[in-house]
Amino acid sequence: MPFYHKSPKTNEEIGNELEEQSEIIDELASLLENIDKKLCAETRHVNMVTETLNSGKAIWRNDTSQRTFQEIKEEIARYGDVAKAIIDLAVYGKAQNRSYERLALLVDTVGSRLSGSKGLEKAIQIMCQNLKEDGLENVHLEPVKIPHWERGEESAMMLEPRKQKMAILGLGSSIGTPPEGITAEVLVVTSFDELQKRAQEARGKIVVYNQPYTNYSNTVKYRVQGAVEAAKVGALASLIRSVASFSIYSPHTGIQEYQDGVPQIPTACITVEDAEMMSRMVSRGSKIVIQLKMGAKNYPDADSFNTVAEIIGSKYPEQVVLVSGHLDSWDVGQGAMDDGGGAFISWEALSLIQDLGLRPKRTLRLVLWTAEEQGGVGAFHYYQSHKANISNYSLVMESDAGTFLPSGLQFTGSDKARAIMKEVMSLLQPINVTQVFSAGEGTDINFWIQDGVPGASLLDDLYKYFSFHHSRGDTMTAMDPKQMNVAAAVWAVVSYVVADMEEMLPRS
């Protein structure tokens, strides 16, 4: 290439070139910075993917065993034939409808089973004998003192603007009225906030709550706290719209709670229909006067028992999978759904396992709680008596939300335990009940769950459940034997597999 001589550049030309080169360098630096950011982002993405892939193994690794995801999955898969045998026996075999028939015999014989009543104590004695005759092990009663309340005679009559008798059910632990009753004008509110805003109007009146039903957990606070909030603003009594998803002029009872330092006033539930009617009346400017009479009375605590039976574990008998329902009920209806069904599918789970000649490595313990409706009184006593062995409880289970066709299992526990439960529920594919939901809970097992023990509850049709819940409609007519068969199969498969696996469910 020929060499060409160039004349020297001026200072201005050199300055312009340097400025251009500086701009190019800045652009290159910016480009390199962007490339670096993209590379960092890609690296983070790769790391996240790697962690996600590895977590599938890590989540299944027991803190004490170093077993892998695949090993635990394969162990659970080996229970497929056992699960099918349980399902076949419960749903299609000689045990089908057994839990329904057992339940019908008890509730038709004894009726309702209110805390402190002779009906409950008779049911406990019958069940203890039934469990012994069924061949279960270590059948015994564990004593506990429980509340004793009776509703007595009760009535509500609307006197103004016209006369109409109203259906009511006094709420558990409520005091009664004077013999002549309480006659007063009504104040209708839809919330505690509205009550506070209208506090000056409430003094000397009967507060009627017409709160909308959203779901049970949000709405039940009006039943539990309604009397206390009304008493704080000087009301003479409170009437609460029944906490129900559906009504055919059916009052729904339940527990209510007084508060120290707040006057105790009588309280009862009324029907959805009457609550809405009174709300419409006052919106038109009508004055409503009601005469309320309640013979409710609280008595000294009564003697009662939690009922216990077991299939003792073959390898780790000191470790426990607890299966439960509560035997008590309210004093209306038969308590067939709440919670006769839950108690009897829990018994049925052990019967099915025993019928097949199975004995899990861990002890399967059936507990039929007393006085659940009064706030889990029997279960709290059991927890206090047994919590020293809390490290030996692998899983606590309670069925207390109906035994209709199950949607799946509600579960509370560590991520590792949840992953295991998903594999266990996959064994129920033959009856298409495989989902694992969050928030496993139950009044009687929450004491354990709050202390870190994994907990499970059966989930089914809650709309139907709260249509009958705590009402006169809670009878065997609400129950379906075929649906109970499926519920029992789910309960038996889950409890057996968890009790028989080589390791306990991991905790957080």
- Beta bridge partners, 207, equal 187, 238
Residue in this structure with the two tokens 């597999």, named with its chain if needed: 497
Between CA 188 and CA 197 the distance in angstroms is 12
Active-site residue flag, 154: no
Q: Are 502 and 88 in contact (CB under 8 A)?
A: no
Q: Are 301 and 170 in contact (CB under 8 A)?
A: no
* Pairing assessment for the beta strands 435-437 and 393-398 based on DSSP bridges: unpaired
Sign of the four-CA dihedral 338, 343, 349, 351: negative
Neighbours of 24 (CB within 10 A): 10
| Catalytic entry in 154, 229, 310, 372 | 372
CA 486 to chain centre: 19
Long-range Cβ pairs for the range 230-234 (8 Å, 24+) = 230/195, 230/202, 230/265, 230/267, 231/262, 231/263, 231/264, 231/265, 232/262, 233/195, 233/196, 233/199, 233/202, 233/203, 233/207, 234/199, 234/202, 234/203, 234/204
Q: Are 76 and 427 in contact (CB under 8 A)?
A: yes
Q: Show which residues are catalytic.
A: 372
